[in-house]
């Protein structure tokens, strides 16, 4: 018999993903075989599994909390926004096509069999499924075709915990308004509410807790303090952008592209004591950093046009001409080349001149490259560093000069669609163009590899190089791998949640709905 518990929220960013992560770890600690599940995810942060399939990164973190390998069944439907009104649809890890919002809503009920097949398959292998909703379950204009909130809870017969975010204000109105808008049968599924991100003395809150319980007829299962666990949530980039970056010895400016993807690539950089990481959206913010990073994007050509029209492209080129190194990842790497071609209209069609920082060109094609990769940096200041990550892109890039950025280790690539050979990316000296066998200083670097900082080796090598360029003594720092660091943070989060949440009530609810 499989138990389940579903976490829904009063809004996006209420903390659903983190609460599911904590519950996965707590249930694992309590001896259960547990798995996360989110029927439909909308995010530009995605990941490639060992079998070359694509899923949302939030469920990857939750899988680590559960102590299991990421599995595309945990997130059978993934929407990757490509514009304000359209998304790439990925079903069971494979690209199904591009849909505008109207067309997707007209067909999404047809995805229910795929969702239920994935859920049933997980249920056959696990004791407990912790389900994450999306947005708010009381979006009454979407209820008839809902496949991710109360519609899914009904399909799998799951009890629901509703989470509100007190940090944004109005948490009692959030909870009351959401429950009031639910249908009677939906309201009966809500076994409790949770107030998340609380700062202060909980005793001051208690009169409100009693009143909201009376108004809703639903018990408050816990008040979770604002967590200090450093775990990327799907909406965490907005919080980073509200901060001005920490002033440290070396200044790294990451361009905040309109359609930035996989921003979690840079979390390991932020943890190094010598590196100050900030996100910039204009020329004035760019100033004079020690390194510029152009990140991945869902729409390379559109974001390159934005970079050009905003004046950031010219500002970056001036910095590069003066010796500031530039690193591009995935879409950022494509932008740094000499030309982008889209003969099939995969993005916006036609051709576009690139930034001409690297001697390479990209042609967009229908097949998406999806691979896990282990490689060694071959050129530039980080040469010798071992990197592990994944490639996920729809363009093929040809290098006409310089050297590869990294060389794939034997057996270090698992690819679903395309065999990219033994090399990835490009590296070129900014001051002196090099022949194929020339000495590379690495002032311009590009790679398709997401997660290249996750092992920690690239972080330490990059930090020491930037410090040396400034005449500052290097630091003897060993950066933890992202997996090791995340494990510590998940444990911290689980301890915080276990202390604050009525786990006995959670277990009782799961028992009542056991199937």
Number of neighbours of residue 71 by Cβ within 10 angstroms: 23
CA angle 200, 271, 317 (to 5 degrees): 120
Separation CA 69–CA 64 (nearest Å): 7
Separation CA 303–CA 257 (nearest Å): 6
Say if strands 3-9 and 160-165 run parallel, antiparallel, or are unpaired. parallel
Q: Which residue has the tokens 């050979």?
A: 421
446, 449, 447, 452: which is closest to 430 by C-alpha?
Answer: 446
Name beta bridge partners: 81: 87
Indicate which residue of 24, 330, 360, 382 is catalytic.
330
Number of neighbours of residue 135 by Cβ within 10 angstroms: 18
**382 in active site:** no
Task: Tell me the backbone φ, ψ of residue 487, rounded to 5 degrees.
Answer: -60, -45
Please, which residues have CB within 8 angstroms of residue 376's CB and are 6 or more apart in sequence?
Answer: 384, 385, 386, 387, 406, 407, 409
Please, which residues have CB within 8 angstroms of residue 351's CB and are 6 or more apart in sequence?
Answer: 339, 340, 341, 342
| Cβ pair 335, 300 in contact under 8 A | yes
Classify residue 39 by its DSSP letter: S
Indicate which residue of 126, 272, 393, 450 is catalytic.
450
Q: Both tokens of residue 397?
A: 């890039």
N- to C-terminal Cα separation, the chain: 5
| Cβ pair 87, 79 in contact under 8 A | yes
Please, which residues have CB within 8 angstroms of residue 169's CB and are 6 or more apart in sequence?
Answer: none
Number of neighbours of residue 154 by Cβ within 10 angstroms: 13
Separation CA 76–CA 71 (nearest Å): 9
Classify residue 376 by its DSSP letter: E
Q: How far is CA 130 from CA 34, 64, 353, in A?
A: 7, 13, 47
**69: exposed, middle or buried (Cβ count in 10 Å: 0-12, 13-18, 19+):** exposed
**330 in active site:** yes
Separation CA 313–CA 305 (nearest Å): 9
Task: Tell me the backbone φ, ψ of residue 175, rounded to 5 degrees.
Answer: -70, -45
| Cβ pair 19, 38 in contact under 8 A | no
Count of alpha carbons within 13 angstroms of residue 220, beta-carbon side: 23
Q: How far is CA 464 from the centre of its chain?
A: 27
Separation CA 23–CA 7 (nearest Å): 10
Catalytic residue IDs: 330, 450
């Amino acid at each position: 018999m499989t138990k389940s518990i579903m976490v829904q929220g009063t809004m996006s960013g209420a903390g659903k993903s983190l609460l599911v992560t904590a519950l996965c770890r707590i249930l694992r600690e309590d001896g259960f075989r547990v798995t996360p599940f989110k029927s439909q995810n909308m995010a530009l942060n995605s990941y490639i599994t060992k079998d070359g399939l694509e899923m949302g990164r939030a469920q990857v973190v939750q899988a680590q909390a559960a102590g299991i390998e990421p599995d595309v069944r945990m997130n059978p439907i993934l929407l990757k926004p490509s514009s304000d009104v359209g998304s790439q649809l990925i079903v069971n890890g494979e690209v199904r096509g591009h849909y505008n919002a109207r067309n997707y809503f007209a067909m999404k009920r047809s995805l229910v069999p795929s969702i239920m097949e994935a859920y049933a398959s997980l249920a056959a292998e696990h004791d407990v499924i912790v389900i994450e909703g999306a947005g708010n379950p009381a979006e009454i204009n979407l209820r008839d075709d809902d496949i991710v909130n109360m519609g899914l809870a009904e399909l799998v017969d799951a009890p629901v915990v509703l989470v509100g975010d007190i940090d944004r204000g109005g948490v009692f109105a959030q909870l009351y308004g959401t429950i009031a808008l639910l249908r009677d049968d939906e309201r009966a599924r809500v076994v409790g509410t949770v107030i998340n991100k609380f700062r202060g003395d909980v005793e001051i809150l208690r009169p409100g807790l009693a009143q909201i319980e009376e108004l809703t007829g639903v018990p408050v299962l816990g008040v979770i303090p604002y967590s200090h666990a450093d775990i990327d949530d799907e909406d965490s980039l907005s919080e980073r952008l509200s901060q001005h970056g920490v002033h440290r010895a070396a200044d790294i400016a990451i361009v905040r592209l309109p359609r930035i993807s996989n921003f979690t690539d840079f979390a390991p950089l932020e943890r190094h004591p010598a590196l100050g990481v900030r996100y910039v959206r204009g020329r004035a913010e760019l100033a004079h950093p020690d390194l510029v990073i152009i990140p991945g994007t869902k729409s390379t050509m559109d974001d390159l046009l934005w970079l050009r029209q905003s004046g950031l492209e010219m500002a970056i080129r001036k910095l590069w001409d003066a010796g500031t190194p530039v690193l591009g990842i995935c879409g950022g790497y494509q932008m740094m080349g000499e030309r982008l071609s889209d003969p099939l209209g995969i993005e916006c069609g036609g051709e576009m001149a690139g930034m001409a920082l690297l001697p390479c060109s990209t042609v967009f094609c229908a097949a998406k490259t999806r691979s896990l990769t282990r490689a060694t940096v071959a050129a530039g200041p980080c040469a010798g560093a071992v990197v592990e990550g994944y490639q996920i892109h729809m363009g093929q890039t040809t290098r006409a000069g310089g050297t590869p950025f990294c060389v794939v280790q034997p057996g270090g690539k698992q690819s679903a669609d395309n065999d990219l050979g033994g090399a990835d990316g490009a590296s070129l000296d900014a001051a002196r163009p090099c022949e194929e066998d020339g000495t590379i200083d690495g002032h311009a670097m590009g790679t398709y590899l997401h997660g290249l900082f996750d092992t920690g080796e690239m972080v330490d090598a990059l930090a020491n190089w930037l410090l040396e360029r400034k005449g500052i003594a290097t630091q003897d720092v060993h950066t933890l791998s992202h997996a090791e660091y995340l494990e510590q943070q998940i444990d911290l989060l689980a301890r915080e949640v276990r202390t604050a949440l009525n786990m006995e009530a959670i277990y009782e609810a799961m028992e009542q709905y056991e199937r």
